[in-house]
Amino acid sequence: MTHVGLLLHGADTGLRDRIVGALARADGYGEVRAVEQAAEDGELEPACRRLVEVCDVVLGVPAWPWPGWGAAHDAARDLLPDLPYWAVETWHGLPDLAAVLAEHVEAVAADHARVLLTAPDHAVVGLPAEQRAFLRELAEGLAAALPDRLARPTVAVDRSPVDGPVTPTAASTLVTLVDAHGATAVVRASMVPGDGPDPDVTAAAAAQGVMLHEAAPSDDDHVVLLLAAVAALLPPALQDAAERDAAEGDGSTS
């Protein structure tokens, strides 16, 4: 049997432990023999050393639904030169994220409420193209999953005020929804599992007299979504390992 290692980029020990427990309870993950996390500086190298000792192939999965993990994957590949390394580069390809977020939005949204999809709290001027594309794609998926009684989601790129060129924040975008669209009810939809209320958005809603609800994937959803990412990588990784073994076997008998 091929022994698979799972490397969770950006995960803490608590999330890692929840994933270990979920893998043990679920069917179809018997090949996964080790789970390591790397969130802090200095964690990646020892995590990779432990994976080398017990695994034949490694799956690298970002623990959070936000692009920008390429450097982490490259660093892991450098530390695992002799092991095949399969990576989830971004959660773009996980339609479950939009479906789960839509369920939480629909659960709290009044009819004709405006949906405000917010990025994680990165106080930066101008997001890289990959991150903007992720927001657009998630908004498209969310729009497709929401019922017709709800308006198409509006995207707010930045959560916090920034220096430099004026960038609409989530709070200022909410004000625009009121001024330009007459919104009386808004659901702030966050892609970040376990995310709580945004103080700036809450204050803006109160100032505008708008009914505000919050929607985000739960901590349990987080685990389910991460297992979906593992499930997407596991079959091709195992098939590749089987083909490598077969090729090595043919070479040894020729």
Q: Residues with Cβ < 8 Å from 245, sequence gap 6 or more?
A: 2
Question: 158: pLDDT confidence band, cut at 50, 70 and 90?
Answer: low
> Residues 60, 9: contact at Cβ < 8 Å?
yes
More confident residue, 155 or 47: 47
Using the 8-state DSSP alphabet, how is residue 92 labeled?
A: G
The conformational region for residue 229 under phi > 0 = left, psi -120 to 50 = alpha, else beta, is: alpha
Over range 161-167, report the average pLDDT: 52
Instruction: Name the more confident of 168 and 26.
Output: 26
- The domain 4-89+220-253 is classified under which CATH number: 1.10.1060, 1.10.357, 3.40.50, 1.10.3470? 3.40.50
Count the helices and strands in the chain (H runs, E runs).
Answer: 8, 8
Examine domains 4-89+220-253 and 94-215 and report if their fold is the same: yes
Residue 125: per-residue pLDDT: 52
Closest CA to 150 of 119, 122, 111: 111
- Say if pTM beats, i.e. exceeds, 0.85: yes
How much is the pLDDT for 67? 84
Question: What phi-psi label fits residue 154: left (phi over 0), alpha (psi between -120 and 50 degrees) or beta?
Answer: beta
Could you tell me the CA-to-CA distances from 136 to 132, 155, 201, 249 in Å, in that order? 6, 8, 21, 47
pLDDT of residue 167: 64
> What local confidence, expressed as pLDDT, does residue 254 receive?
40
- CATH for 94-215, options being 3.40.50.1400, 3.40.50.1000, 3.40.50.150, 3.30.360.10: 3.40.50.1400
Instruction: Give CA–CA dist 75/41, Å, rounded.
Output: 12
The domain ranges of the chain are 4-89+220-253, 94-215
What distance in Å separates the CA atoms of residue 239 and residue 150, rounded to the nearest whole number? 43
Any idea of the CA torsion for 207, 209, 213, 214, to the nearest 10 degrees? -10
159: pLDDT confidence band, cut at 50, 70 and 90? low
pLDDT digits (tens, 9 = 90+) for 79-116: 999 999 999 887 766 668 999 999 999 999 988 899 99
Residue 206 main-chain phi, psi, to 5 deg: -65, -40
Type of residue at 47: A
Determine phi and psi for 251, rounding to 5 degrees. -70, -30
| Average pLDDT of the residues in 119-130 | 64
- Give phi and psi for 14, each to the nearest 5: -60, -45
In whole angstroms, what is the distance from residue 231 CA to residue 30 CA?
12
Contact (Cβ atoms closer than 8 angstroms) between residue 134 and residue 66: yes
For the ranges 58-72, 84-98, 111-125, 161-175, which has the lowest average pLDDT? 161-175
Mean pLDDT score, 217-235? 93
Task: Give the dihedral of Cα atoms 109, 115, 117, 118; nearest 10 deg.
Answer: -80
In this predicted structure, what is the pLDDT of residue 127?
66
Counting residues of the chain whose pLDDT is more than 90, the rounded percentage is: 63
**pLDDT for the residue numbered 124:** 47
Overall residue count recorded for the chain in this entry: 254
User: Where on the phi/psi map is residue 42: left (φ > 0), alpha (ψ -120 to 50), or beta?
Assistant: left
pLDDT for residue 207: 97
Confidence of residue 122 (pLDDT cuts 50, 70, 90): low
Does residue 166 carry a pLDDT above 70? no
Q: pLDDT > 70: what percent of the chain? A: 90
Res 100: pLDDT: 94
Are the CB atoms for 145 and 137 separated by under 8 Å?
Answer: no
When pLDDT is cut at 50, 70 and 90, the band that residue 143 belongs to is very high
Q: Are 186 and 210 in contact (CB under 8 A)?
A: yes
